[in-house]
Amino acid sequence: MSTEHAGPMKRPVLPEGELKITDPADYAAGPKAVFKALSYIQERTGTAKGLKVLSKLNQKNGVDCPGCAWPDPSKRSCLGEFCENGVKAVAEEAMTARADPAFFAAHSVDDLITKSDYWLGQQGRLTHPMILESGSRHYRPLPWEEVFTRLGGALQSLEDPNDAVFYTSGRTGNEAAFVYQLMVRMLGTNNLPDCSNMCHESSGAALSETLGIGKGSVTLEDLHEAEVILIMGQNPGTNHPRMLSALEKAKHNGASIVSINPLQEAGLLRFRNPQKAHGLIGSGTTLTDLYLQIRINEDVALLKAVMLRLLQKAETRPEILDQRFIHDKTSGFDAFQTELTRHNYDDLLARTGLDPDDVEKLVRLLAEKQRIVVCWAMGLTQHKNGVDNIREVVNLLLLKGSIGKPGAGTCPVRGHSNVQGDRTMGIHERPSRRLLDRIASRFGFTPPEEHGYSVVEAIEAMDADRVRIFFALGGNFVPAAPDTAFTERAMRKCELTAHVSTKLNRSHLVHGKTALILPCLGRTDRQPEQTVENSMGVVHPTRGVLHPPSEHLLSEVAIICRLARAALPESELDWAGMEGDYSLIRGHIEHTIAGFEHFSEKARSGFELYNGARVGVFHTTDEKAHFTVNQLAVHEPQYGAFLMMTIRSHDQFNTTIYGLNDRYRGIHGGRKVVFMNPKDMASLGLERESLVDLENHYPSGKRQVEGFQVVPYDIPAGCVATYYPETNPLVPLSEVAHTSLTPASKSIRVDVVPVGSGV
Ligand SMILES: Nc1nc2c(c(=O)[nH]1)N[C@H]1C(S)=C(S)[C@@H](COP(=O)(O)OP(=O)(O)OC[C@H]3O[C@@H](n4cnc5c(=O)[nH]c(N)nc54)[C@H](O)[C@@H]3O)O[C@H]1N2
Ligand SMILES: Nc1nc2c(c(=O)[nH]1)N[C@H]1C(S)=C(S)[C@@H](COP(=O)(O)OP(=O)(O)OC[C@H]3O[C@@H](n4cnc5c(=O)[nH]c(N)nc54)[C@H](O)[C@@H]3O)O[C@H]1N2
Ligand SMILES: [Mo]
């Protein structure tokens, strides 16, 4: 390995601002959210430009919000169909600041790497393709022609196509995703890791196995019609704020909402809908009826406890379970029941740390109601038993026959705005046989069958010197991935790293021997219309409206098509034509991707993809929905005394830091904080704002982050919470969910070490 290009790794150790702690909020949105959103866009973008894009945001034939993947209601609000955090996502992309060649001339990569993610993001949109030559410390502009010649040449010169890795983050539109996976497979590899690997992969794995489709089953209408909605491991007030409108509607229709979360998240408590008068001036709508403040990673224990009680009750009242559904539509019930009844109810309950009366309330609710929706996000997927969490959710729904009928089903709430669409388009390191066959017959070549690398496998391969080229279509791989120091070291072993990006980020600075930045148009910029798929399987168009920030930007489709021409000179596919006319790409999608028949005609109006589980048809090995037997969490206190979850603040989109506040949790001016139970603080002699280091001792070695401040918080004893990505250095690469390989970033053992304690 060459180390000549490895620059110094200085990092700011202390928090960036003066930390101020206030009481957490007990509601989300309201007039403050409107004020915050407007001032944010005004500061970053300017009012005229801001209003131009907001008037089109999430409207029919408008711009799909680059934030989360929550679906649009069929009747859009005349006040605008967006939320505070959607506005921030837009402002972050549409900001007026520019990271141009003069900026890169003034700042070496050694200088830039000392800056925080927040600072990097504030430098604005990238304007020119840039190269960092081997041995150089400054990026310099490189004309697009030369970018493609060099990158194409490097790809052609690989002895083995599997020496290249092609990452994707979930903002990429369907058309770009399709040509990307096609190019990668024509090159001869399935090395297509994507952000899903770190996100909802556990959901995909569990749902495909048990219900025959790796996506959620519900529509927005199902949510409105549900009798009971369980919200597990999700913080919609921050991460999917528009979901709160759907929950409000469900409440008005009589639904009971149960929140299962170690923290009392403001957005789950009460919602002041900024689009309604009662939300702006009144006290809003109480959302959660029953709040179960569970210990981290004890959801399997809770679900088992609840199901055990339901089985007991069903002995005298069989009708509380859907016996006919279980008999006709499922398999595996006997093994499931046998395993479940081996557990002791009190032991299960003790693990959760919950009040037995509250759990009994949940049992009664589930016993009496028939239409149940379970929503979840990263609080369930990012554990070593993440797949078990979701399979256990499915078990509960199957017992109640709450799948494949209105008002009931699975609702994994997806993260990035097109992460689901990217998968549908074939971005998958483990492609299905059916996809490969369709690619072969449409394009007349034999796509590779050997599975490619997921995110974690890619990092391991880089470390083992098996990756020469790392290419990323969006995202910020280095800080998003686990085990930061290890990942950085591994990334620096690559010969060439190339990022298609809108904004400067840390992954441009932790680079291969040679590095390229390929700046692209963003979702809000004027460019040919593309399509995206939301969290509920609705495919619809998106069209940017803003004047592009620089004349040197290309669309993602253009970048890939030009790269394909350079890297695959023998390819007879009309890459140039596709770059100029996306309907040619849609024509290929129509014949390659299941469910996209007549895509070209349907693309404009939008359409719902077929979903077997939604209609009670299970495309599994035996055409039945599967009950499964799942594992309780295993605790390893020898690696660290506390269990840590790494979560998002209200002022970030993943590694993009919008600001240093987390208003709903009462944090202002800093991100290097650790939320702790006051009893745990007392036992360690810690006070509010005490300075601590966090460390752990997994078998692979000691890991540490320094200079965090303690925040007393209502969190179960033994559990702590910190922000991602600041604590990713503590997540060992080895800690992944079985089957999905998703990093266990919500259950990492840590010790909290007072600074100056000499420990
Ligand atoms: N504004 C904004 N929107 C976003 C994002 C963003 O960063 N900012 N990110 C997008 C992406 S990619 C994603 S994947 C989603 C993420 O959306 P979320 O999954 O809501 O995000 P997290 O902050 O990771 O929150 C996880 C929640 O799970 C809880 N939790 C943690 N561990 C457990 C557990 O063991 N059991 C239970 N029951 N709960 C637990 C935490 O307390 C927290 O409330 O949001 C998307 N939308
Ligand atoms: N510890 C811990 N780690 C986690 C998580 C966690 O909860 N805890 N969450 C995980 C999850 S759920 C996810 S999804 C991943 C996220 O991982 P990524 O998706 O890799 O990261 P992002 O921060 O979303 O990527 C932001 C970058 O994307 C680029 N970008 C933005 N818009 C566009 C666009 O339109 N096109 C292109 N080409 N580039 C664009 C910008 O340059 C920006 O800097 O992180 C994971 N890592
Ligand atoms: Mo995600």
Residue-by-residue DSSP string for 419-460: HHHHHHTT--SS--HHHHHHHHHHHSS----S----HHHHHH
| Mean pLDDT across 247-265 | 97
Atom 12 of ligand 2: nearest residue by CA position? 199
Instruction: Give the whole-angstrom CA distance, residue 448 versus residue 192.
Output: 12
Atom 2 of ligand 1: nearest residue by CA position? 239
pTM metric for this prediction: 0.96
- Burial bucket for residue 697 (CB in 10 Å: 0-12, 13-18, 19+): middle
| Mean pLDDT across 521-534 | 95
* Ligand 2 site, residue 415, Cβ cutoff 6 A: yes
Measure 656 CA to ligand 1 centroid, in angstroms: 15
What pLDDT was estimated at residue 30?
Answer: 86
Q: What SS3 state is found at 643?
A: strand
Q: Where are the beta strands (DSSP E) in 440-536?
A: 469-473, 496-501, 514-519, 530-533
Q: Which atom of ligand 1 is nearest to the CA of 650?
A: 1
Give, for ligand 2, the residue of 53, 168, 171, 652 to mutate: max count of ligand atoms closer than 8 Å to Cβ.
171
What pLDDT was estimated at residue 37?
Answer: 85
Task: Provide the percentage of residues in the chain whose pLDDT is more than 70.
Answer: 96
Instruction: Give the whole-angstrom CA distance, residue 532 versus residue 535.
Output: 10
Nearest CA to 393 out of 381, 407, 406, 405 is that of 381
| Ligand number, closest to the Cα atom of 742 | 2
- Pairing assessment for the beta strands 270-272 and 28-29 based on DSSP bridges: parallel
The answer, yes or no, to whether residue 454 has pLDDT greater than 70, is yes
Measure 290 CA to ligand 3 centroid, in angstroms: 27
- Burial bucket for residue 601 (CB in 10 Å: 0-12, 13-18, 19+): exposed
Q: Which atom of ligand 2 is nearest to the CA of 121?
A: 44
* Ligand 2 site, residue 198, Cβ cutoff 6 A: yes
- In sequence order, the 6+-apart residues with CB closer than 8 A to the CB of 704 are 693, 694, 695, 729, 730
What pLDDT was estimated at residue 7?
Answer: 37
Confidence of residue 39 (pLDDT cuts 50, 70, 90): confident
Give, for ligand 1, the residue of 234, 242, 642, 661 to mutate: max count of ligand atoms closer than 8 Å to Cβ.
234
At 290-334, the pLDDT tens digits run 999 999 999 999 999 999 999 999 999 999 999 999 999 999 999
Neighbours of 67 (CB within 10 A): 28
What pLDDT was estimated at residue 86?
Answer: 86
Neighbours of 281 (CB within 10 A): 11
Report the helix count and the strand count for the chain, using DSSP H and E.
31, 31
Give the DSSP letter of residue 513.
S
The answer, yes or no, to whether residue 4 has pLDDT greater than 70, is no
Q: Which residues line ligand 1 (CB under 6 A)?
A: 67-68, 85, 199, 232-235, 238-240, 260-263, 265, 294, 296-297, 299, 377-379, 415-416, 645, 647-648, 652-654, 746
What pLDDT was estimated at residue 6?
Answer: 35
| Ligand number, closest to the Cα atom of 653 | 1
* Ligand 2 site, residue 474, Cβ cutoff 6 A: yes
Atom 22 of ligand 2: nearest residue by CA position? 475
| Mean pLDDT across 235-259 | 96
Task: Provide the percentage of residues in the chain whose pLDDT is more than 90.
Answer: 86
* Ligand 2 site, residue 731, Cβ cutoff 6 A: yes
Give, for ligand 2, the residue of 118, 120, 198 to mutate: max count of ligand atoms closer than 8 Å to Cβ.
198
Give, for ligand 1, the residue of 85, 201, 535, 647 to mutate: max count of ligand atoms closer than 8 Å to Cβ.
647
Measure 169 CA to ligand 3 centroid, in angstroms: 9
Backbone angles phi, psi at 98, to 5 degrees: -135, 130
| Mean pLDDT across 592-602 | 94
Atom 15 of ligand 1: nearest residue by CA position? 415
Backbone angles phi, psi at 652, to 5 degrees: -155, 155
* Ligand 2 site, residue 656, Cβ cutoff 6 A: yes
* Ligand 2 site, residue 480, Cβ cutoff 6 A: yes
Q: Which atom of ligand 1 is nearest to the CA of 654?
A: 7
At 138-195, the pLDDT tens digits run 999 999 999 999 999 999 999 999 999 999 999 999 999 999 999 999 999 999 999 9
Give, for ligand 2, the residue of 125, 504, 654 to mutate: max count of ligand atoms closer than 8 Å to Cβ.
654
Confidence of residue 674 (pLDDT cuts 50, 70, 90): very high
At 615-632, the pLDDT tens digits run 999 999 999 999 999 999
* Ligand 2 site, residue 409, Cβ cutoff 6 A: no
Measure 264 CA to ligand 2 centroid, in angstroms: 26
Atom 25 of ligand 2: nearest residue by CA position? 475
Q: Which atom of ligand 2 is nearest to the CA of 507?
A: 44
Measure 291 CA to ligand 2 centroid, in angstroms: 30
Picking from 9-13, 105-109, 379-383, 746-750, which range would have the lowest pLDDT averaged per residue? Answer: 9-13
Q: Which atom of ligand 2 is nearest to the CA of 556?
A: 38
* Ligand 2 site, residue 274, Cβ cutoff 6 A: no
Atom 37 of ligand 1: nearest residue by CA position? 233
Confidence of residue 78 (pLDDT cuts 50, 70, 90): low
* Ligand 2 site, residue 500, Cβ cutoff 6 A: yes
Residue 699 one-letter amino acid: P
Confidence of residue 757 (pLDDT cuts 50, 70, 90): low
What pLDDT was estimated at residue 40?
Answer: 84
Measure 587 CA to ligand 2 centroid, in angstroms: 30
| Ligand number, closest to the Cα atom of 745 | 2
The answer, yes or no, to whether residue 114 has pLDDT greater than 90, is yes
- Pairing assessment for the beta strands 667-668 and 20-21 based on DSSP bridges: antiparallel
Picking from 269-278, 342-351, 692-701, which range would have the lowest pLDDT averaged per residue? Answer: 269-278
Which residues are registered as beta bridge partners of 703?
696
The answer, yes or no, to whether residue 11 has pLDDT greater than 70, is no
What pLDDT was estimated at residue 522?
Answer: 96
What pLDDT was estimated at residue 589?
Answer: 98
Atom 32 of ligand 1: nearest residue by CA position? 379
What pLDDT was estimated at residue 31?
Answer: 85
Q: Which atom of ligand 1 is nearest to the CA of 238?
A: 1
Measure 759 CA to ligand 3 centroid, in angstroms: 36
Atom 13 of ligand 1: nearest residue by CA position? 415
Atom 32 of ligand 2: nearest residue by CA position? 502
Instruction: Give the whole-angstrom CA distance, residue 127 versus residue 104.
Output: 11
Give, for ligand 1, the residue of 118, 411, 645 to mutate: max count of ligand atoms closer than 8 Å to Cβ.
645
Residue 459 one-letter amino acid: I
Neighbours of 646 (CB within 10 A): 23
The answer, yes or no, to whether residue 557 has pLDDT greater than 90, is yes
Instruction: Give the whole-angstrom CA distance, residue 376 versus residue 136.
Output: 46
At 371-425, the pLDDT tens digits run 999 999 999 999 999 999 999 999 999 999 999 999 999 999 999 999 999 999 9
Q: In whole angstroms, how far apart are CA 494 and each of 442, 512, 712?
A: 34, 5, 43
Q: Which atom of ligand 1 is nearest to the CA of 648?
A: 23
* Ligand 2 site, residue 649, Cβ cutoff 6 A: no
- In sequence order, the 6+-apart residues with CB closer than 8 A to the CB of 80 are 54, 55, 57, 275
Share the mean pLDDT of the chain. 94
Measure 70 CA to ligand 3 centroid, in angstroms: 13
| Ligand number, closest to the Cα atom of 413 | 1
Atom 22 of ligand 1: nearest residue by CA position? 647
Q: Which domains does the chain have, with CATH numbers?
A: 20-25+634-754 (2.40.40.20), 98-193+418-597 (3.40.50.740), 201-412 (3.40.228.10)
Atom 11 of ligand 1: nearest residue by CA position? 415
Confidence of residue 10 (pLDDT cuts 50, 70, 90): very low
Q: Which atom of ligand 1 is nearest to the CA of 260?
A: 38
Atom 39 of ligand 1: nearest residue by CA position? 233
Asked whether the beta carbons of 410 and 218 are under 8 A apart, the reply is yes
Measure 650 CA to ligand 1 centroid, in angstroms: 11
Instruction: Give the whole-angstrom CA distance, residue 183 versus residue 220.
Output: 35
Asked whether the beta carbons of 625 and 398 are under 8 A apart, the reply is yes
- Burial bucket for residue 106 (CB in 10 Å: 0-12, 13-18, 19+): exposed
What pLDDT was estimated at residue 56?
Answer: 82
At 416-449, the pLDDT tens digits run 999 999 999 999 999 999 999 999 999 999 999 9
Measure 525 CA to ligand 2 centroid, in angstroms: 19
Atom 10 of ligand 1: nearest residue by CA position? 415
DSSP-assigned states of every residue in 166-201: EEE-TTS-HHHHHHHHHHHHHHT-----BGGGGTTH
